[in-house]
């Protein structure tokens, strides 16, 4: 069990760090800004989760290799020529992967600590969305979670419940985790690509 959770965590950190660094580069920030936004995007959601659940030490303090990885990524990213052509619209895939991973891992940690499915699903959504919301706020973008034209928090919420049901059926193994993460990431990417919304507005104000 340790391996798959840890591997997913690294995948989520890398994905969210990339999404943060793309936005930071697109905003023409210097290397310190690129690192800071990457760090906050990748570790913000999990830090909020650990604070609310009183789960100490906070995970990136326990796993120092994670901030080091983000530091190395930021250095490479800052001096990578091709990064000049990046645009904020290119974060869809890494952002969706990060959303999927952190939603499911946030929910799983809440379950491990003995909380109900309901509380776990709220914690999952918070863990999945908070890092990206900070990234967008700090870079003066409207956070994805508040854009009317896209499903975001609702995919995270649905994915958490899908994960709970798969886990009940299949036991607490790698397969339910993978299903939950894949569901959120794929539905999110499809929603952006095909412009799926939860509610059409009747009134345009």
Residues that bind a second copy (CB under 8 A): 28-33, 36, 39, 47, 51-54, 56-58, 61, 64, 67-68, 78, 84, 115-116, 118-119, 122, 138, 143, 145-146, 148, 151-154, 157, 197-199, 201, 203, 205
- Alpha-carbon distance 201 to 196, whole Å? 13
- CB-based contacts of 17: which residues, under 8 Å, 6+ apart? 38, 39, 41, 42, 69, 70, 73, 74
- Which CB sits closer to a second copy, 8 or 138? 138
Minimum CB–partner distance for residue 185 and a second copy (Å): 18
- Which CB sits closer to a second copy, 64 or 169? 64
Minimum CB–partner distance for residue 122 and a second copy (Å): 6
Prior bond of 100 cis (ω within 30°): no
Minimum CB–partner distance for residue 91 and a second copy (Å): 17
Minimum CB–partner distance for residue 120 and a second copy (Å): 10
- Which CB sits closer to a second copy, 70 or 179? 70
- Alpha-carbon distance 77 to 56, whole Å? 31
- Which CB sits closer to a second copy, 1 or 142? 142
Cα of first residue to Cα of last residue in the chain, in angstroms, is 50
- CA nearest 180: which of 155, 197, 198? 155
């Amino acid at each position: 069990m340790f391996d798959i959770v840890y591997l997913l965590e690294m995948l989520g950190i890398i994905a969210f760090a990339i999404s943060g660094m793309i936005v930071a580069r697109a905003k023409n920030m210097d290397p310190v800004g690129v690192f800071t936004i990457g760090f906050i995007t990748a570790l913000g959601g999990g830090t909020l989760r650990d604070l609310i659940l009183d789960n100490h030490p906070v995970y990136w303090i326990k796993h120092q290799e994670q901030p080091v990885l983000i530091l190395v990524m930021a250095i490479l990213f800052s001096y990578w020529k091709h990064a000049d052509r990046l645009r904020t619209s290119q974060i869809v895939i890494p952002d969706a992967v990060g959303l999927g991973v952190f939603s499911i891992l946030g929910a799983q940690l809440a379950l491990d600590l003995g909380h109900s499915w309901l509380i776990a699903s709220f914690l999952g959504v918070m863990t999945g969305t908070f890092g990206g919301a900070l990234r967008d706020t700090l870079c003066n973008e409207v956070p994805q979670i508040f854009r009317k034209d896209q499903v975001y928090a609702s995919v995270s919420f649905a994915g958490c419940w899908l994960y709970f049901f798969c886990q009940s059926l299949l036991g607490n193994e790698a397969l339910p985790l993978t299903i939950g993460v894949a569901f959120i990431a794929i539905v999110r990417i499809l929603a952006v690509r095909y412009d799926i919304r939860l509610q059409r507005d009747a009134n345009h104000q």
